[in-house]
Structure 1
Amino acid sequence: MSKPIDYSLSTLPAHVGHDFGLSRAMRVSQSRIDQFAECSGDDQWIHVDVERARNSPIGNTIAHGLLLMSLTTKAQYDVGIFPPDTTQILNYGSDKVRFLAPVAADASVVIRVELAEVQSKGPGRTLVRCRNTAYCEGDLERPVMVAESLAMLMA
């Protein structure tokens, strides 16, 4: 999928339901997981202890769910969901987040982004809800995460 023709803040409501397609692949390396653990304080062994994780049922360390969630922002920029006349974009939160399967360290993920809802919040302010569905690259049949994200767009 691609960005619709005549795509701007004023035409945004007409594009609700549009599938913007898949983001570029994003590798979830052990280094990235370790950095996220350090930043978040979530250093549970399944994320950071490679040796111990080899003996786990999964057989590998796995990405934090919140790390996957944080990649939705990059995916949204990749697919061009934000109209070009937007002057500022603020994270407004998330809804209905589900982590459906573990993502092993060194896997790559892609995220499908759909424009789910648009609400005017007054002059120059538009609230956008995106449906983000993450997959391990090469397996678009089984989502690993589904999440709705909210962004406040400013004109």
Structure 2
Amino acid sequence: MKVFHSIAELEQAVGTHLGYSDWHTVTQQQIDTFAEATGDHQWIHVDSARAEKGPFGTTIAHGYLTLSLVPMLSWQVYTVEGIRMGVNYGANKVRFPSPVPVDSKIRAGVEIVSVTPGGGGYQVVARVTVEREGGDKPACVADTVSVLVP
């Protein structure tokens, strides 16, 4: 994990790829729990028998489940010391180029795009690329925006 000791040090990392998170296995239980929480029970996610005959041969994670894992995965890559709090502010762009079949292992790579004053602290835009082990395209690419308050 990359540790930045200040916002100023983080600013020096703009344009830098910081590394990768640990691998995380996306289980059917996790997919089902996400479906329960969001009300999205589409068969491609929760009906194993039907999904077996579908386009992916198995159930797949919701795109927004993959996106919801971005904070957990990103904070395995880097942290900033000397801040009171960090708040998710949103995303400038999100894409889901490929599916995440059940029991896939995913990890996130993080690049710092910008660090600018704003929002009561500093807005940090990080390009997070979630890849699937053995996949040829990313599962998710998101330009996330966080506000770090010193």
Q: Under a length normalisation based on structure 1, what TM-score does the superposition of the two structures give? A: 0.90
> Which of residues 107, 115, 119 in structure 2 aligns to 1:118?
115
Deviations 1:86-123 (A, max 9, x none): 2101110012111001110111101101111111127x
Counterpart of 2:97 in structure 1 is 100
Query: 1:89, 1:151 within 8 Å by CA — same for their partners in 2?
Result: yes
Instruction: For residue 124 of structure 2, give the secondary structure of its aligned residue in structure 1.
Output: strand
Root mean square deviation, CA, Å: 1.6
**1:3 Cα deviation (Å)?**
2.3
Query: 1:132, 1:146 within 8 Å by CA — same for their partners in 2?
Result: yes
2:66 corresponds to 1:68: yes
Q: Which runs of 5+ in 1 are unaligned?
A: none
- Distance in 1 of aligned mates of 2:55 and 2:9: 49
Query: 1:75, 1:113 within 8 Å by CA — same for their partners in 2?
Result: no
| Identical amino acids, percent of aligned pairs | 39
- Equivalenced residue count is 150
**1:137 Cα deviation (Å)?**
2.0
Q: Which amino acid aligns with 1:18?
A: T
Q: Which runs of 5+ in 2 are unaligned?
A: none
- Distance in 2 of aligned mates of 1:132 and 1:3: 15
- Distance in 1 of aligned mates of 2:50 and 2:117: 50
Query: 2:70, 2:128 within 8 Å by CA — same for their partners in 1?
Result: yes
> Which of residues 111, 123, 130 in structure 2 aligns to 1:127?
123
Q: Which amino acid aligns with 1:3?
A: K
